[in-house]
Structure 1
């Protein structure tokens, strides 16, 4: 992987990988990691380095993860999830990451002399929910996105996770509103006409992820594609997923697909 730079921009920790060419006007890919492994910006950059892509790659740390964990660490995170995964974690993490992205991006660009090249979005699981919401924002001017282990319909993701943990989530008016806001299939008409989206699903992931990705691709039409990767579940790296780790063969295939997509669409 190219030389990496770590810093904090507008309060958000990040990992920056410069383009191969060093061109300030090269495309910019903004990336957000999973809450599963890899669960930090540095670990996600190692899992999906976008090897060979001539672009600025900025991996942002999600709220409530890594150095931003709540007091009590992972134990407290798990407690909050069992108490109310949507209202305590998925909704607030997405909302905060989306709200802080413009200022963090502006600060990184100013600090490193990055120009106004075309913008792509990359996210894994919870990070894909952030990327998806930013795709809806015309101010972000994103022309391409790659959503891996994608949360494009929160209800589907919650059903899959609940089955894994043996619980059934008690939906309320408040959490229904969060799910409506995070439903990219229902909001597909808000995605800018210039944007193209790849969803990547592990063949061994829970079926809801492939089903919702297929529904999203069908709704978006010829500007979208879903790829299924053999040998991959939901996570993209070995546990504990806090530090950079060797790339799995299946994750290397995800990286190849993402690079090919961005190389074609980030014009």
Structure 2
């Protein structure tokens, strides 16, 4: 298939967590050992085995790098309209924590864009500030990502950068497209399909539950991807394509999640909210 189409279960409810009015609301290696196919010297190889190793080990290369800045986008087509949610921030691949400011698309009516939502990404949890929908401005909303039907691949309007990388551990097929350049950096372009079940089995403990949730809830576990790796095997750009059916529409909604990584080694200072700073009241669905 060209994408993954979730069953019509709780996806429509899950994406409402972000409050997007437009309707929006991972082969198997453990990562504990690297073949070296993706590291250094501009190599990476073009044989099937070398290509597979380079793609599967991309998450390990990010851990070696320590941290980076990140830009994300999530594009979807709904009701004949294409909308994009954008995010920008930093991520620590060793601690599995990050901070992104997420900008929602302008309302089709022309209403002003709301303030950016601040998202903190942590193992098993997503924290959101400026959530709206009755949440006090000084409070955070906490979501247990292991309970989300999509494993937080789309719920937050962005895909956690390390989760996006670990999804590649489930690469069933991968081909070498060629050498190119991205943002002035020489990269190797690979294209293929990842399997969520295999990715969940091979993922780090922090992502096993979330990817497992997505694997069990989506109708197909196949996720097409394009990934661009630099000469150190680090992801510079990765794009996952999939689709889901929400409760209001019978036709699938096409979604493309893109993550861009740069400035490796950038400082990351993320402090998770204290218990008293987390909103415990009812959250309205916008």
Q: TM-score range by the shorter chain?
A: under 0.3
Mark the structure with the bigger radius of gyration. 2
TM-score normalised to structure 1 length: 0.28
Question: Which protein is richer in strand relative to its size?
Answer: 2
Whose helix proportion is higher, 1 or 2? 1
Structure with the bigger RCO (C-alpha within 8 Å, sep 6+) is 2
